C-alpha cells in the first residue's frame, strides 16, 4: 500500500473540477516521506495465479460476467511501462487483452518507483475480471495530497466508470488535520450519489496506521486507521493469509492487514447493523477482505520480468474491484454504491467468514470483525446475491 504525508498547501481546484469540489477552496497538500511501499516479498515459491485465486474463491474464467464494465486504478508517476507489463501478464496467463487508457491528472512525471504497485493493481483486478471492456489508469504526478485528491476528483467528474481501486493511504489524523479527509469525503460523497464505488486498501501495518514508523508488512505504527479506507463513502478492503500452499486450503486473518475503529470518521450508515464485533462508535474498517499476505502472494510481471509473491492490501483492494466488476456486469451495471449491497443485500453465504487470526489489537470473530469485515468473497454466490 502506498503511503502519503501532509505538508504544504493546495490552491483552489481547476475549473473543470468545480462541479464536485463545489465550495472547497483549499486543502493542505504535501510531499512524500516514505514513497511507494509495494510488497515485493519473495513467497518461497508459494505464489498464486489468477486461475488459482478464481478457483479458491469459487469462480472461473468461464463464469466471468464482467463484460461491458470499465474499471479504474489510481496510480502515480511514469506509468508508461504498466500497459506493456499487463499485456505480458495476459499472454503468460492466457487471458484476453484488456485495453488500457492512461488519464493524466497533472504534469508529466519521471518517477517509476511505484511500478510494481501499479503492475499489481492492474494485473490483479483484470486477473479476477479478465473480460472487462477497458481499464482506465488515472495518473497523478506525485503522491502529494493535492495531487491524489485531484486524481480521485477527476475520476468522479469524468464518471466514465462505476468502480475504481486506490492502493494508497495516510493516517486519518493527518488527513483530517490537513484537509484531505474532509475534501476527499466531499468528492467521494458525490461518487456515491453517482453510483460509483472506490475500493481502498486498509493498510499493511495491522491495527495501526503507517505514520512516521510504519513499514509495510510489519504490524506496528501510530494509533488510528488509514484514509481513504475509513471514508464512509468508500469501501475499505483488508487482508487474509491463504494457508496450505501450494494447494490453497483455508484462510486466516493477515496479522499486518489494516483494520479497527476510526478515530475521525463516524460509522457508515450502511454498516450500523453489521453485527458481529462491530461497535457503532466510529467507522469500522475493513468492510471486506481478500488474500493479501506476501507469503500467499500473487505472481505479477514488472519490467517484463515475472515477480512472485507480491502482496499486501494493494492486492486485496484491486481484487475486490474485479469481483465488483463481475457483479456489476451480471446486473447490467446498475448496482450503485457497493456499501449497501455488501451489508444489506448480500446473504452470509456470499462471504467466507474468517474466524481465525488477528491484526494485533483486533481478533477475527464469527460474523463481522475489525480484521476482515464481512469476510472474503464466494464470488459465484456474491455475483448472484447482488
Tell me the HSE value of 203 on the side-chain side, using a 13 A CA sphere.
37
Among positive and negative, which fits the CA dihedral 244, 247, 251, 256? positive
- For residue 201, how many other CB atoms are within 10 A of its CB? 32
- The answer to whether 43 and 297 have CB atoms below 8 angstroms apart is yes
74 Cβ contact list (under 8 Å, min separation 6): 138, 140, 148, 151, 152, 155, 164, 165, 166, 167, 168
Which residues are known catalytic residues? Answer: 117, 121, 314
341 Cβ contact list (under 8 Å, min separation 6): 327, 335, 386
H helix intervals, 57-171: 82-93, 115-128, 145-158
250-253 and 163-166 strand pairing: unpaired
Closest CA to 253 of 354, 157, 163, 344: 354
226-227 and 134-140 strand pairing: unpaired
Closest CA to 326 of 125, 167, 137, 152: 125
Closest CA to 101 of 127, 123, 73, 129: 73
75 strand-pairing partners? 139
Task: Please count the helices (runs of H) and the strands (runs of E) in the chain.
Answer: 10, 17
SS3 361: coil
18 Cβ contact list (under 8 Å, min separation 6): none
197 strand-pairing partners? 163
| SS3 per-residue string spanning 218-285 | CCCCECCCEECCCCCCCEEEEEEEEECCCCCCEEEECCCCCCEECCCCCCCHHHCCCCCCCCCCCCEE
Amino acid at each position: 500500500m502506498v503511503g502519503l504525508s501532509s505538508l504544504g498547501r493546495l490552491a483552489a481546484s481547476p475549473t473543470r473540477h468545480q462541479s464536485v469540489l463545489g465550495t472547497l477552496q483549499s486543502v493542505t497538500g504535501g510531499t512524500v516521506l516514505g514513497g511507494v511501499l509495494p510488497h515485493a516479498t519473495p513467497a518461497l515459491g508459494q505464489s498464486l495465479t489468477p486461475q488459482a485465486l478464481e478457483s479458491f474463491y469459487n469462480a472461473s474464467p468461464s463464469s466471468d460476467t464482467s463484460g461491458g464494465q470499465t474499471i479504474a486504478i489510481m496510480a502515480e508517476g511514469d506509468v508508461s511501462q504498466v500497459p506493456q507489463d499487463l499485456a505480458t501478464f495476459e499472454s503468460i496467463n492466457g487471458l484476453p487483452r484488456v485495453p488500457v487508457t492512461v488519464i493524466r491528472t497533472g504534469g508529466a512525471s519521471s518517477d517509476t518507483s511505484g511500478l510494481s504497485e501499479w503492475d499489481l493493481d492492474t494485473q490483479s483486478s483484470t486477473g479476477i475480471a479478465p473480460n472487462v471492456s477497458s481499464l482506465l489508469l488515472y495518473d497523478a504526478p506525485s503522491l502529494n495530497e493535492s495531487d491524489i485528491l485531484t486524481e480521485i476528483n477527476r475520476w468522479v467528474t469524468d464518471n466514465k466508470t462505476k468502480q475504481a481501486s486506490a492502493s494508497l493511504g495516510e493516517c486519518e489524523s493527518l488527513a483530517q488535520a490537513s484537509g484531505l479527509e474532509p475534501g476527499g469525503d466531499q468528492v467521494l460523497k458525490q461518487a456515491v450519489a453517482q453510483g460509483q464505488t472506490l475500493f481502498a486498501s486498509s493498510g499493511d501495518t495491522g491495527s495501526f496506521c503507517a505514520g512516521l514508523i510504519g513499514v509495510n508488512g510489519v504490524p506496528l505504527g501510530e494509533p488510528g486507521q488509514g484514509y481513504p479506507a475509513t471514508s464512509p463513502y468508500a469501501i475499505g478492503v483488508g487482508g487474509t493469509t491463504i494457508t496450505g500452499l501450494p494447494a490453497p486450503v483455508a484462510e486466516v486473518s493477515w496479522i499486518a492487514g489494516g483494520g479497527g475503529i476510526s478515530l475521525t470518521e463516524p460509522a457508515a450508515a450502511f454498516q450500523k447493523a453489521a453485527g458481529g464485533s462491530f461497535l457503532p462508535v466510529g467507522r469500522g474498517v475493513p468492510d471486506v477482505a481478500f488474500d493479501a499476505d506476501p507469503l500467499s502472494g500473487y505472481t505479477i510481471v514488472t519490467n517484463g520480468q515475472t515477480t512472485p509473491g507480491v502482496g499486501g492490501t494493494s492486492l486485496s483492494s484491486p481484487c475486490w474491484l474485479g469481483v465488483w466488476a463481475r457483479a456489476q456486469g451480471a446486473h447490467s451495471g446498475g448496482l450503485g454504491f457497493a456499501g449497501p449491497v455488501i451489508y444489506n443485500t448480500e446473504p452470509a453465504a456470499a462471504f467466507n467468514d474468517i474466524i481465525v487470526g488477528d491484526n494485533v489489537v483486533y481478533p477475527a470473530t464469527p460474523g463481522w470483525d475489525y480484521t476482515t469485515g464481512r469476510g472474503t468473497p464466494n464470488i459465484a454466490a456474491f455475483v448472484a446475491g447482488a
